[in-house]
Amino acid sequence: MNQQAQITDKYELDRGIENHLEHLKPETIRAEIDAVFRSETGSRLKAYMKTCVHCGLCSDACHFFLSFDRDPRYSPAGKIRQTLWEFMKNIRHITADHIRKAAIIAYTECNLCRRCVLYCPFGIDTAYMMGVVRRICHRLGVTPLYLQDTAHSHSAFMNQMWVKEDEWIDTIHWQEDDARDEMPGLRIPLEKQGADIMYSVIAPEPRFQADLIYKAAILMTVAGVNWTLPATPGWDNSDMAMYSGDDEIMGRITRTHFEAAERLNVKKIVMGECGHAFRSVYDTGNRWLGWTFPPIPVIHAIEFYYDLLVSGKITIREKFKDPVTFHDPCNIVRGRGLHEKARYIIHMACENFIEMTPNREHNFCCGAGGGVINCGPPFKNKRMQASRVKADQIRKTGAKVVITPCHNCHSGIDDILHHYKIPMTIKFMVDILTLTMNKPVNGTGDGL
């Protein structure tokens, strides 16, 4: 059986990918690939392609390669071979089948986790190159259906989950009401001009994890933080367009987010516990807008909690007893080096912390990142198979709770725990903090 057949066999057809392939003409394919090579990439891509000595050292870095029993097709360089090599060598002969294969590889067989970069003697960034493949697929309209749906939602509503403006505001009021049962003085200040901090979250929070907003409000109130949330678009910091290859929408999302902060005249943005959103706002989307570093200081929740603990604005009442382990999210560890701060928080709040091996910059990706989980049900089985090394790594810790400050990691690991029947639960850092910290019963904070 040829490789093409093998690849397409094992995936349930994705309508987003298939529907567009039918209409693709070879000239269109050629024109779009050419356009990306000519106008959107340059010497960086060329240098990566030329420098790679095909040594295969990056293979063992990739959880796909390891989980699929060292199948060469899943090694980082192997994925480049099946996609960009072909594009560069045979641009005239690229067919719709090549594009299907490239889309499946780039969207569903690489989490853009950048672990392989640490294992390449030349620091070749395979994740960047897979991003280029995604960009080509996006320009050809060949994107997985579920992922594209989130990009559409971003485009239409400026949030990832079709949350309407009144639903957002309503959710905030609802969480405020609930939290006031626990802490009567609590407010969740919407649209507060001149607050110190704009707090932003990803759309799944109001959609189905609203308790996280509740917990953030408790934390802010106890710490006496002068904070606010925007009532207008810009409250959602997530960005799946970055992963679908839709750079234009990525730019719009990041701009809207910054503009909300600008309009509210805040000093800095604190982003909730999400990794990919941080990657977009701090790094990718920000650059697409032309900023070297964000125009308004942006910090991830981990940095924020760390600051609160170090400055004594929150204190721990009683440490969490169950043994915990920590999953380092790619986008805030390889993407922002927050691993030591995260460990500081855990040591402060938990009694028994067990490290995963490998850890910190070398941690394995959860398998969900890079938009892979957002490609939805057609690719879930493959995602679970690809997470075998992750499952083993988690199981070996023997902990009872996995902490991870990232939504993608959270959902990905939750799936892994169920699929591999690992008797553990998963928590965000804010779950642990709100459980263990001192909470004055009538906290008023100055969040009003």
Judged by the rule CB under 6 A, the positions of this chain that interact with ligand SF4 are 52-58, 61-62, 64, 76-77, 79, 110-116, 120, 122, 124, 126-127, 130, 365
> Which of 53, 91, 310, 448 is the binder for another protein (CB under 8 A)?
53
Angle 19-162-447 from CA coordinates, rounded to 5°: 150
Q: Compute how many other C-beta atoms are within 10 angstroms of the C-beta atom of residue 385.
A: 15
- C-alpha 112/C-alpha 370 separation (Å) is 5
- C-alpha 188/C-alpha 257 separation (Å) is 19
Which CB, 58 or 151, lies closer to another protein? 58
Which CB, 42 or 194, lies closer to another protein? 42
236 binds another protein (CB under 8 A): no
Q: In 3-state terms, what secondary structure has residue 231? A: coil
Q: Which does 163 bind (CB under 5 to 8 A by kind): ligand SF4, another protein, none?
A: none
List the structure tokens of 127: 């994740």
Applying CB under 8 A, the span of 58-66, 103-111, 254-262, 311-319 interacting with another protein comes to: 58-66
Is there a contact between 227 and 238 (Cβ–Cβ < 8 Å)?
no
Is there a contact between 108 and 372 (Cβ–Cβ < 8 Å)?
yes
Burial degree of 54 (CB within 10 A; 0-12, 13-18, 19+):
exposed
> Which of 51, 90, 381, 438 is the binder for another protein (CB under 8 A)?
51
- C-alpha 328/C-alpha 370 separation (Å) is 15
Which residues inside 331-390 make contact with another protein, applying CB under 8 A?
333-339, 361-362
Q: Which does 73 bind (CB under 5 to 8 A by kind): ligand SF4, another protein, none?
A: another protein
Q: Using CB under 8 A as the criterion, what x/- string covers residues 256-295 for binding another protein?
A: ---------------------------x---x----xx--
Is there a contact between 119 and 19 (Cβ–Cβ < 8 Å)?
no
86 binds another protein (CB under 8 A): no
Name which of 43, 244, 38, 36 is nearest 136 in CA terms: 36
Q: Which does 81 bind (CB under 5 to 8 A by kind): ligand SF4, another protein, none?
A: another protein
224 binds another protein (CB under 8 A): no
Q: Which does 113 bind (CB under 5 to 8 A by kind): ligand SF4, another protein, none?
A: ligand SF4
59 binds another protein (CB under 8 A): yes
- C-alpha 363/C-alpha 357 separation (Å) is 7
Which CB, 56 or 224, lies closer to ligand SF4? 56
DSSP string, 22-59: HT--HHHHHHHHHHIIIII--HHHHHHHHH-----TTG
Applying CB under 8 A, the span of 115-123, 182-190, 253-261, 268-276 interacting with another protein comes to: 115-123
DSSP string, 75-92: SHHHHHIIIIIHHHH-GG
Which CB, 48 or 428, lies closer to ligand SF4? 48
- C-alpha 80/C-alpha 112 separation (Å) is 13
- C-alpha 156/C-alpha 385 separation (Å) is 34
Which CB, 128 or 162, lies closer to another protein? 128
* Min CB(411)–ligand SF4 separation in Å: 17
**Residues engaged in binding another protein (CB under 8 A):** 39, 41-44, 46-48, 50-57, 59-61, 65, 70, 72-73, 75, 77-78, 80-81, 117-119, 121-125, 283, 287, 292-293, 333-339, 361-362
